[in-house]
Amino acid sequence: MAQEEKDITPEELEKRLDEIFGVQQPSSDASEDQQSPSPLQDLDSIMLSLDWELSEENIANFLSEVESLRNSFAEDKVASSFFKLLYSLGKYIHKRKGKTHPYAIKLLQSSYSDLRRIVESSEVSEKERKQLLYKNIEKYNELKEKISSKPVSSSRDAVKEDSDSEQSASKAALSGETSGQFQMEESKTGDEKDTRSEPGFEEGRGVSNEASNVAENLEETLTDQEPGSVPAQDVTNQDILTELQDLKALIREELRILRSEIRAQERGHQD
Amino acid sequence: MAFIDFKKKELQVKIVYYGPSRGGKTTNLDYVYNQMDNRLKTDMVSIKTHGDRTLFFDFLPFDIGKVMGYDLKIMLYTVPGQVKYNATRKLVLRGVDGLVFVADAMEIRRDYNIESLSNLEENLKEYNIDLYNLPVIMQYNKIDLNDQGIPLLSYETLDSDLNSKLQAPSFTASALRGDNVIPTLKKAISNTVMHLKQELK
């Protein structure tokens, strides 16, 4: 950076900022192209409301909109399965509210984002649509696993708190709404058999079973590769604790920096 | 007033991105960070909750050269927008030199914007700072949602709700796409630096 001893003028400052960030002129906000309204328009708004707050009203709106869209998309098996998955997650969140597993919220958002892709983009091939669905079902099964493995460690009191009731309620919320249901949406057209190459795929199996089979195979492979490694569910709890400790340390550190900054500023003001 | 380190001959200018929760303050900073020239890039500190919300604040410092013989260090902060974190917001405002108020252009957020602006005014009062004497830039964010058919407040409504008294420079923006993020920041920096120059004279 140029070392200048003289005062900076507004023009010089502007030039310097251009050097740092590149020249970007303010743009007008007019939207260039008008698009026809998306069928997900209302769900979009509801998703944003959920992002804001997981209120009873927002979740109820979400469930009702998803249910209605699922009926509208009954002919589209992939989209319909997506709606079913979202509905199931919505039901779970509705039951668990503040105790919802954080991964469920992330999954809800990512599944919705993938659903938007398959509904709104004409560039996504049928194969990609199905792959996106399988990916989300796998994640869904991961969530189920995370929930059921939550209270494993008996020595970790912090994690264990209220775990028994939480676990059974979570499992009930998820499995009660979903077990076997994805199979209903499985495409019966026969064009599915060449769409996947992942291990564990068996033609004619339900989409849900298929995905969980893949997840199981993957887990087995990892365990085989690392004999003597910590069981997956313990690692999960350990990870949560480590993350919490890291977060605590970070907050402590930030507070310390902030305090010293405030002190420094106070000193500065006194000077 | 900016913090002056006489030993290092450094002038630290603090610009705070303020506004309602989920309005796009952190997204603004993320975009700025990604646009920065690699030679100047410093670490951006960000502490988030599991739900990806700002828990404490985001912090992005960078140098932009000399003013009045002092190295000028710009420090960008965001505050957590959620109502319950007012103590943190107040703390971050301490020693603020300039502000970017990131308003959410969604129709359903109208009241939250107004509430947040009045919260800003109150919090500043605790430090005996008058909002109307500070360099402020208004940013009406999330205009990209218009493409998805989400009802947005018009520029006129936003300006009349939030800027009729302040009369601050204002930008519509999409922090997610990066539209007008850098122009907002540039305006905030140049207005704040020029304001400080006047004060220091």
Q: pLDDT tens for residues A184-194?
A: 344 333 333 33
Q: What is the enclosing helix (H) or strand (E) of A77?
A: helix A77-96
Residue B189 near residue B74 (C-beta atoms within 8 A): yes
Question: Cβ separation of B190 and A21 shorter than 8 Å?
Answer: no
User: CB-hemisphere CA count at 13 Å for A95?
Assistant: 20
Give the pLDDT score at B118: 95
Which residues of chain B have a CB within 8 Å of the CB of A8?
Answer: 65-67, 72, 193
Q: Measured between CB atoms, which of B65, B149, B185 is closest to A1?
A: B65
Q: Cα A29 to chain center, whole Å?
A: 30
List chain B residues with CB under 8 Å of A269.
1
Q: What is this structure's pTM?
A: 0.51
Q: How many CB pairs under 8 A join A and B?
A: 114
pLDDT at position A156: 40
**Which among A36-50, A52-66, B181-195 has the top mean pLDDT?**
B181-195
- What mean pLDDT comes out for the span A164-188? 44
Mean local confidence (pLDDT), B72-101: 86
| pLDDT at residue A166 in the model | 43
Is the dihedral angle over the CA atoms A153, A154, A159, A161 positive or is it negative? positive
Which of the given ranges, A115-124, A174-183, A213-222, has the highest pLDDT on average? Answer: A115-124
Q: Tell whether the model's pLDDT for residue A213 goes beyond 60.
A: no
Residue whose token pair is 């999954």: A107
Query: Could you say which DSSP state residue B106 is in?
Result: B
The residue among B168 and A120 whose pLDDT is bigger is: B168
Of A7, A19, A102, the CB nearest to B50: A102
Highest average pLDDT, of A219-233, B86-100, B118-132, comes from B118-132
CB B14 within 8 A of CB B37: no
End-to-end CA distance of chain B: 13
Q: What is the pLDDT of residue A105?
A: 84
Return the structure tokens found at B191: 């207005």
A29 to B172: CB separation less than 8 angstroms, yes or no: yes
Neighbouring CB atoms inside 10 A of A209's CB total 17
pLDDT attached to residue A205 = 37
Average pLDDT over residues B69-76: 84
- Please give the full DSSP string across B62-81, using - where no structure is assigned: EEEEEETTEEEEEEEEE---
Per-residue model confidence as pLDDT tens digits over B146-179:
888 889 999 999 999 999 999 999 999 999 999 9
Contact A4 B66 (CB under 8 A): yes
Residue B8: both structure tokens together = 């290092």
| Mean predicted confidence (pLDDT) in B15-41 | 84
Rounded mean pLDDT of chain A?
65
The pLDDT of residue A42 is 79
Interface-testing mutation among B67, B145, B195, with chain A (most A C-beta atoms within 10 A): B67
More confident residue, B197 or B172: B172
Phi, psi of B20 (to 5 degrees): -70, 160
Q: Which residues of B touch A44 (CB under 8 A)?
A: 148-150
pLDDT for res A270: 66
pLDDT at B197: 80
Residue of B nearest to A1 (CA): B65
Burial of B71 (0-12, 13-18, 19+ CB in 10 A): middle
- The DSSP annotation for A116-171 comes to HHHHH-TTS-HHHHHHHHHHHHHHHHHHHHHHHHTT--SS-HHHHTTHHHHHHHHH
By C-alpha distance, which of A30, A69, A65 is closest to A45? A65
Radius of gyration of chain B (CA): 16
Say whether B146 and A31 touch across the interface (CB within 8 A). Answer: yes
Task: Tell me the average pLDDT across A52-76.
Answer: 83
**Chain A contact set for B179 (CB, 8 A):** 27, 29
Q: Per-residue pLDDT tens for B98-142?
A: 999 999 999 999 999 999 999 999 999 999 999 999 999 999 999
Query: What backbone torsions phi and psi does residue B140 show, to the nearest 5 degrees?
Result: -100, 100
**Which span out of A165-169, A211-215, A236-240, B93-97 was modeled with the highest average pLDDT?**
B93-97
Q: At CA A133, angle to CA A89 and CA B146, rounded to 5? A: 75
Segment A150-178 shows an average pLDDT of: 44
What number of other Cβ atoms are within 10 A of residue B178's Cβ? 18
The C-alpha angle with vertex B50 and arms to A173 and B86, in degrees rounded to 5, equals 120
With CA atoms as reference, report the closest residue to B29 among B46, B13, B49. B46
Which range (B8-12, B50-54, B133-137) has the least confidence?
A: B50-54
Select from A53, A46, A172 the least CA-distant residue to A115. Answer: A46
Share of chain B above pLDDT 70, in %: 88
CA distance to A175, A249, B182, per residue, from A50 (Å): 23, 30, 29
Does residue A247 contact residue A163 with C-beta atoms inside 8 Å?
no
Q: Cα–Cα distances in Å, from A174 out to A26, A236, B85, B179?
A: 48, 19, 33, 40
Q: Which one of A2, A105, A258 has the shortest CB-CB distance to B91?
A: A258
What residues of B are in contact with residue A45 (Cβ under 8 Å)?
108, 150-151
Q: What is the pLDDT of residue B72?
A: 84
Q: Could you tell me the CA-to-CA distances from A249 to A88, A242, A245, A246, B51 in Å, in that order? A: 36, 10, 6, 5, 19
pLDDT (average), residues A161-181: 45
A206 pLDDT more than 50: no
Residue in the structure block whose two tokens are 């919490």: A244
Q: What was the pLDDT predicted at A236?
A: 60
Give the per-residue pLDDT at A225: 32
If you write DSSP's letter for every residue of B23-61 in order, what string do you get? SSHHHHHHHHHHHS-TTT--PPEEEE-TTS-EEEEEEEE
Q: Could you give the ipTM of this predicted complex?
A: 0.71
Does pLDDT of A165 surpass 60? no
Whether A20 sits inside 8 A of B1 (CB atoms) is no
Whose CA is closest to B134, among B14, B53, B49? B14
- Are the beta carbons of A45 and B108 separated by less than 8 Å? yes
Average pLDDT over residues A115-137: 85
pLDDT at B7: 78
A97 or B31, greater pLDDT: B31
Question: CB A268 to CB B3 under 8 A?
Answer: yes
Question: What average pLDDT is seen over chain B?
Answer: 85
Q: Nearest by CB to A265, which of B55, B95, B185?
A: B95
Determine which of B49, B90, B187, B190 to mutate to test the interface with A (most A C-beta atoms within 10 Å): B190
| Minimal Cβ distance to B36: which of A16, A20, A250 | A20
Q: Do A21 and B35 touch (CB under 8 A)?
A: yes
Share of chain A above pLDDT 90, in %: 1
Q: Which residues of B touch A29 (CB under 8 A)?
A: 143, 155, 172-173, 179-180
Of all helices (H) and strands (E), which one includes residue B98? Answer: strand B98-104
Query: d(Cα A16, Cα A1) in Å, to the nearest integer?
Result: 9
pLDDT category at A113 given cuts 50, 70, 90 is: confident
Q: Which residue of A has its CA nearest to B144?
A: A31
pLDDT at A271: 61
Instruction: Evaluate if residue A171 carries a pLDDT over 60.
Output: no
Whether residue A211 is predicted with pLDDT greater than 60 in this model: the reply is no
Per-residue pLDDT of A89-100, as tens digits, reads 888 888 887 778
- B181 to chain A: closest CA residue: A26
List the single residue in B3, B146, B179 with the smallest CB-CB distance to A264. B3
Residue among B4, B52, B54, B66 with most chain A CBs within 10 A, to mutate: B66
A156 neighbors A237 (Cβ within 8 angstroms): yes
